Amino acid sequence: MAKDRIDRAELADKLVESATSAEDPLRAMAEMIADFMMEAEVTAKVGAEPHERSAERTTHRNGFRDRRWDTRLGTLSLKVPKLREGGYVPSFIEHRKRSEQALVSVIQEAVVRGVSTRKIEAVLGELGIAGVSAGQVSQLCAGLDEKVRQFRERPLGEIRYVWVDALYEKVREDERVESMAVVIATGVNLQGRREVLGLDVIPTESEEGWTQFFKGLKERGLQAVRLVVSDAHGGLKAAVRKVLKAEWQRCKVHFYRNVLVHVAKRSQAEVSEAMKAVFVQRDEKSAKAKAAEVVRQLQSRFAKAMEVFEAGIDDVLSYLHYPPSHRTRLSSNNPIERLNQEIRRRTRVVGIFPHRGACLRLIGMVLVEIHEDWLTDDKAYLTFDDAPAEESAAKLVSLAAGQ
């Protein structure tokens, strides 16, 4: 009859002997414990100890095969028993995976935190984990793709204000390095909480690209959008009006830059102060009157700058149509610009993404983290007079975890 218990004294003696003679005692002990576990499992499966005669025997051992197991202790070299009939895979190793799941999670987290795959490869080597290349690190991170897919396809609802922007990343496409637009949309839901609504990687910021992006958001349930805040990209503006049918707010900060680029540096402070006087007005009528006064005062000295100012002032004052407590948030694209800074901090270490999927994976996971932080923030971003009752914090945390 097969033994069902390993003698404790025998195990302790062997562990001490292995540890004292090994260069890395912890790794040596881990290998020996794994060997004991595999022998116990094989004995139970065979129905007999090695060389034991037993009526319960189902098959015979047939030597060993070498197998590498990457763990947090380093790379362990296992001698996995082979059987003449029927295979054997150790229960503590996930089938067809040589890396411990905890180690995979550590690598995934490092990538999302902005550590380059080359640096991860070097660190794993220092920890004694052999033969993990940059390409294998990327493969281990493919498990994040499903999380990003679910996040990008989750249903949406009523979102009153939407901020959109694009940043450019270098991506390999058809054996060439292309600069591709990562388009991102954020919004505020009825509870006044911010959400990341969607993202995509498109070849360029064309009207068609933005149109398809907005159609995708609508297909997921985006509705009742009142205002969209962005820079003055022509294709984006046309797509907003065609698909979302919402009012458009030109980013005030971008507008300042567009005007000041036509002003000599020594005079920029003067022109900037004059424009600020427009945006401190409390209603659209007063703001437009002040804008006309600014044009009259500065037209002769800064003709081109005032031409740009006059042409764009109506679009940059759309925020005045909304409650005073919302206006500071709605007047510019600053909220999403800060989001872009965090993304660039993570992507800077990558340099060139090997393909679009890798770009979506990293930026998508960054946005998942930010989205969850927003949903569980102690304070709402905006408040609406007709908003439904605030959901409990526990429910918001559960929702964030699910997403």
pLDDT at 298 over 90: yes
The pLDDT value recorded for residue 249 is 97
Torsion region of 19: left, alpha or beta (phi above 0 gives left; psi -120 to 50 gives alpha): alpha
The pLDDT value recorded for residue 397 is 46
Q: Which long-range contacts (CB under 8 A, 24 or more apart) does 244-249 make?
A: 244/162, 244/214, 244/218, 246/162, 247/318, 247/321, 248/315, 248/318, 249/315, 249/316, 249/318, 249/319, 249/330, 249/331
Could you tell me which residue, 92 or 225, shows the higher pLDDT?
A: 225
- Which of 4-18, 83-97, 335-349 shows the highest mean pLDDT? 335-349
Two tokens, residue 69: 């197991």
How would residue 207 be classed by pLDDT, with cut points 50, 70 and 90? very high
Please spell the DSSP secondary structure of 294-314, one letter per residue: HHHHHTTT-HHHHHHHHHHHH
The pLDDT value recorded for residue 14 is 66
Amino acid at 21: S
pLDDT in tens, 350-393: 788 888 988 898 899 889 989 999 988 888 999 998 766 555 44
What does the alpha-carbon distance between residue 169 and residue 159 come to, in Å, rounded to a whole number? 28
The pLDDT value recorded for residue 296 is 96
How would residue 40 be classed by pLDDT, with cut points 50, 70 and 90? confident
Mean pLDDT of all residues belonging to the chain: 84
Question: What letters, b where the CB count within 10 A reaches 16 and e where it falls short, cover 134-171?
Answer: eebbbebbeebeeebeebbebebeebbbbbbbbbebeb
The pLDDT value recorded for residue 3 is 47
CA distances from 177 to 166, 174, 202, 206, 225 (A): 18, 8, 14, 19, 36
Residues in Cβ contact with 73 at an 8 Å cutoff, skipping those fewer than 6 apart: 26, 27, 30, 128
What does the alpha-carbon distance between residue 381 and residue 364 come to, in Å, rounded to a whole number? 22
The pLDDT value recorded for residue 394 is 46
The pLDDT value recorded for residue 110 is 66
How would residue 104 be classed by pLDDT, with cut points 50, 70 and 90? low
The pLDDT value recorded for residue 98 is 45
